């Protein structure tokens, strides 16, 4: 994902892309390869894809549009806001996978 390092804290920082930049990155071959792996191994009906460190859903956003159930998790609030902007129907949350139960409360489900 597009990140930079905060020179003071040393933490990685998300760089907000424009919609055009986002759509360009979506087409990167390794993302398409990853999506193809998912299409072949995941059932649209009975499986949930958890995109850990989803950024702005650059990899799995197109899968949402194809009807897959995706839950995106990212520590970076700006990235999650961008994901919601690019994919309004997405289930995407600011979260640390190490600290949450892996079930999504019904009121937050958009499936």
Partner 1 sequence: MLDILEHLSWEDAVATLKQTKEMLGNHKIVVTMPNVTPYSPYTLIEAGTALTKGQRPEKGLLDKTHQILTDLAGHKRLFEEAGYEVEEMYSTSPFEDVTGDWEWKETRKTSGELLEERGSKLYKAYKILGRKVGPKVLATFKKGLSEQEAEALITSYQGVYLIKPKETQTAESS
Q: Which residues contribute to the site for partner 1 (CB under 8 A)? A: 1-5, 12, 29-31, 33-34, 37-38, 41, 51-53, 55, 59-60, 97-98, 102
Return the number of the residue (38 or 90) whose C-beta is nearest partner 1: 38
Q: How far is the CB of 33 from partner 1 (least distance, A)?
A: 4
CA distances, 9 to each of 5, 24, 65, 82, 95 (Å): 8, 30, 37, 23, 20
Return the number of the residue (88 or 103) whose C-beta is nearest partner 1: 103
Look at residue 31 and give its three-state secondary structure. helix
Looking at residue 87, the DSSP 8-state letter turns out to be -
Report yes or no: 3 and 68 within 8 Å, Cβ to Cβ.
Answer: no
Q: How far is the CB of 111 from partner 1 (least distance, A)?
A: 19
Return the number of the residue (3 or 94) whose C-beta is nearest partner 1: 3
Residue of 18, 95, 106 whose CA lies nearest to 51: 95
Q: How far is the CB of 29 from partner 1 (least distance, A)?
A: 5
């Amino acid at each position: 994902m597009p990140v930079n390092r905060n020179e003071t804290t040393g933490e990685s920082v998300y760089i907000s892309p424009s919609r055009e930049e986002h759509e360009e990155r979506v087409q990167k071959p390794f993302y398409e390869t990853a999506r193809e792996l998912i299409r072949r191994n995941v059932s649209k009906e009975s499986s949930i894809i958890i995109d850990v460190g989803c950024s702005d859903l650059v990899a799995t956003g197109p899968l949402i549009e194809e009807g897959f159930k995706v839950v995106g998790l990212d520590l970076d609030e700006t990235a999650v806001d961008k994901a919601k902007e690019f994919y309004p129907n997405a289930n995407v949350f600011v979260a640390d996978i190490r600290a949450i139960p892996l079930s999504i409360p019904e009121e937050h489900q958009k499936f």
